[in-house]
Chains A and B, each alone.
Chain A
Amino acid sequence: MAFSMRIPLSDEIIKKNSFCSMYINGKKNGFEFDVQIPYYRGLFLSGVEVLEVYIDGQQIPQEALTIEVNGKELPIFKLKYAATELWRQNETARIRAIKRGGLEAGTHELELKLFMRIPYMQMGDGHDYMQMDGCDRALVSLAKEDLKLGVSLFCYSKEYGTGEYDFEECVRQTALAGAQGYEIVGSQMLPDYPNVSDDFLDLIRRCREKYGIGPECYGANNDKGLLFDRNLTDDELLASAILDLKTANRLGCKIMRAQYMLTPAAFERLAPYAELFDVKVGIEIHNPDTPSSPHIRQYLDVIQWTGSEYLGFVQDWSYLSVAPNKPKWDRALAQGVKEEHLEMAANLRKEDFSYEAAWDALKKAGANPAIEECLQGMYGYVQFRSRELLPQLLDEMKTVLPYTFEMHAKFHYLDENGIEPSIPYPEILHCLKETDFDGYIMSEYEDEAHVGGTQFTKRQLEMERHVLGI
């Protein structure tokens, strides 16, 4: 192997983000990852001369290693006979390694030794060919095991609201999706809101016995606009939030989601009560706010100033949107809006035109008025930022992580490959798994398309488990 070639087509041979634990009989007993060959064309598997995997310096025995190409999982010894299996240069192969007990959470050093014969470059007499050098080394990481996946019962709003599911069925579906706990929105599912009756607590207990899961977070609303003639005062919002704490505590929730209507001043006054009820209160950071918004900074000041462990945040990943909301976009198309006008709207938004200016430009361009809802979304709760800003937004996520009690894994749509068109889940989850966040990632399906959340929610948890390797 005196000569070898290497033509890297992408930055990674080992695809770092594909690294995850492998499960045998439900237990962590290995790991797996994707590999792309650094060459300009595909090579037949028969060309593999060396394929070895090392984790933290220790070699995986060859018999415990497989490679999957073209949908076939092969042991290593068979590769030299696989003269008809083409490993395409733009397709990754999946390498799986059995390792008893698996790997601990945290960072590991993964090394791949890969040499392949380049079959059209003979170097001399006999069977001596140029080698392709596909060796690579990467620092890979596995999520903490105490990171937990949950589901907000809000995902089933349509099924529940139309009477298709009762409360128990929502809990059952949550368990079927593989959640370890759930969030309950009080104003949605408590018949005696803002109180909780003994009958309902009984139902919660029965569901826990049957399905093994219970409420972990109480989604409180701060209904400032409750009265017909005036807004609630800070004192009144505080008193209402204390009652919410009581309900959360009776339900057995350790976390309560609160919203921006609860002012930073009222939030500060809530701390001693939160401590009494032993419920941590997280202000929801929701699009259009991000952790660095002035408004959110005020809450951060309160958290740092009081030093209270009971005050913090619930981060809703809606603020990590980097593309327009798909259901709204699709609805506009269905109503006869032209795609070019939607794209124009998205560009105007990206270039920071005001809502009025964007609306004017669209009208002049002859856009169908049905575009209004989609445009409003782009300037409202489903606005998006430029994809180039994602690293900065993920840094913001990490900045407030020490004060974050829970994540709302917001989604509006999820295709069969687990892709949310506007919220970049692989990037978010990989970023999170390198931190020491160990709370709940609570899936929250926002049913813009009004099609129900059951299938999407199952898909979302599958995707999360896959990306996190748990």
Chain B
Amino acid sequence: MDFQAYNKILICKDDIENVKVGDVVVGYQFKIKYPSYRGAFLSCIEELKFHMDGEEIPKGQISFHLNGKDFLIDELAECFKEYWFVREKATIRVIRPGGISAGEHELNVYMKHRVPYTGYFGQYLVLESNVTEKKKAV
């Protein structure tokens, strides 16, 4: 199985969108999928980082939205009951007053994740998915 081939589904085609509360732009959001042939429990994600235009997004400003719930990045390790279906998009919301400027941006997603049924040779297979794509913000 060539797991790395699934990195190309990590960043979804959807545009980056600003998030409004009433008339106030409070941040922006984009979508990602789990990069594998199968789904995973969120507890299998060991690290998840984002860079926008080369700058790391502080994890305190991020909320991970899946299955109708919001999680902090630091909570993911404990989410062993939260299943991420391989065709389900997770929404990454970034709190940033004023949102993001319209036009092209460079998004990098880095995910380190454990494949929980491997380990035949003594260790679990831990994959690093590291994908950078140009995205449009609208």
Residues on A with C-beta less than 8 A from B37 are 154, 157-158, 160-161, 188
Residues on A with C-beta less than 8 A from B85 are 190-193
Is the beta-carbon distance between B116 and A191 smaller than 8 angstroms? no
Is residue B128 within 8 Å, beta carbon to beta carbon, of the partner chain? no
Is residue A222 within 8 Å, beta carbon to beta carbon, of the partner chain? yes
Is the beta-carbon distance between A447 and B2 smaller than 8 angstroms? yes
Closest chain A residue to B126, Cβ basis:
A225
Per a CB cutoff under 8 Å, which of A162, A192, A221, A228 touches B9?
A: A162
Is the beta-carbon distance between A188 and B83 smaller than 8 angstroms? no
A450 to B44, CA, bound (A): 24
Closest chain B residue to A156, Cβ basis:
B37
Contacts known (A187-B38, A187-B39, A193-B39); A224 close to B87, Cβ less than 8 A: no
Is residue B86 within 8 Å, beta carbon to beta carbon, of the partner chain? yes
Distance in Å: Cβ of B107 to nearest Cβ of chain A: 19
Residues on A with C-beta less than 8 A from B78 are 228
A160 to B46, CA, bound (A): 25
Most buried by A among B46, B117, B121: B117
Residues on B with C-beta less than 8 A from A227 are 43, 80
List residues 81-105 of chain B with CB under 8 A from any CB of chain A: 83, 85-88
Is the beta-carbon distance between A188 and B6 smaller than 8 angstroms? no
Contact with A along B8-29 (1 / 0, CB 8 A): 1100000000000000000000
Instruction: Give the A interface residue count (CB, 8 A).
Output: 35
A188 to B88, CA, bound (A): 12
A193 to B83, CA, bound (A): 7
Contact with A along B99-123 (1 / 0, CB 8 A): 0000000000000001111111100
Is the beta-carbon distance between A226 and B44 smaller than 8 angstroms? yes
A192 to B67, CA, bound (A): 10
Is residue B64 within 8 Å, beta carbon to beta carbon, of the partner chain? no
Closest chain B residue to A229, Cβ basis:
B77
A191 to B44, CA, bound (A): 17
Per a CB cutoff under 8 Å, which of A185, A225, A260, A288 touches B38?
A: A185
Per a CB cutoff under 8 Å, which of A190, A193, A221, A228 touches B117?
A: A221
Residues on B with C-beta less than 8 A from A161 are 6, 9, 36-37, 86-87
A289 to B89, CA, bound (A): 37
Per a CB cutoff under 8 Å, which of A185, A223, A260, A448 touches B116?
A: A223
Closest chain A residue to B114, Cβ basis:
A225
Distance in Å: Cβ of B8 to nearest Cβ of chain A: 8
Contact with B along A139-183 (1 / 0, CB 8 A): 000000000000000100110111100000000000000000000
Contacts known (A162-B9, A191-B88, A192-B83); A226 close to B43, Cβ less than 8 A: yes
Per a CB cutoff under 8 Å, which of B41, B43, B114, B120 touches A260?
A: B120
Is residue A446 within 8 Å, beta carbon to beta carbon, of the partner chain? yes
Is residue A296 within 8 Å, beta carbon to beta carbon, of the partner chain? no
Contact with A along B37-54 (1 / 0, CB 8 A): 111110110100000000
Which residues of A are at the interface with B, using a C-beta cutoff of 8 A?
154, 157-158, 160-163, 185, 187-188, 190-194, 221-229, 259-261, 288, 380-381, 446-450
Which residues of B are at the interface with A, using a C-beta cutoff of 8 A?
1-2, 5-6, 8-9, 36-41, 43-44, 46, 77-78, 80, 83, 85-88, 114-121, 124
**Could you give 26 example pairs across A and B, Cβ below 8 Å?**
A154-B37, A157-B37, A160-B37, A160-B86, A161-B37, A161-B86, A162-B9, A163-B87, A187-B38, A188-B37, A188-B39, A193-B83, A193-B85, A221-B117, A223-B41, A224-B116, A225-B116, A225-B117, A225-B119, A226-B44, A226-B116, A227-B80, A228-B43, A228-B44, A228-B77, A228-B80
In the complex, given contacts A161-B37, A192-B85, what are 16 additional A-B residue pairs having Cβ atoms less than 8 angstroms apart? A158-B5, A158-B37, A163-B9, A192-B83, A193-B39, A193-B83, A223-B116, A225-B44, A225-B118, A225-B119, A227-B80, A228-B43, A288-B120, A446-B1, A447-B1, A450-B2
Which 8 residue pairs across A and B have the least CB separation, nearest first?
A: A225-B116, A223-B116, A450-B5, A228-B77, A157-B37, A188-B38, A187-B38, A221-B117
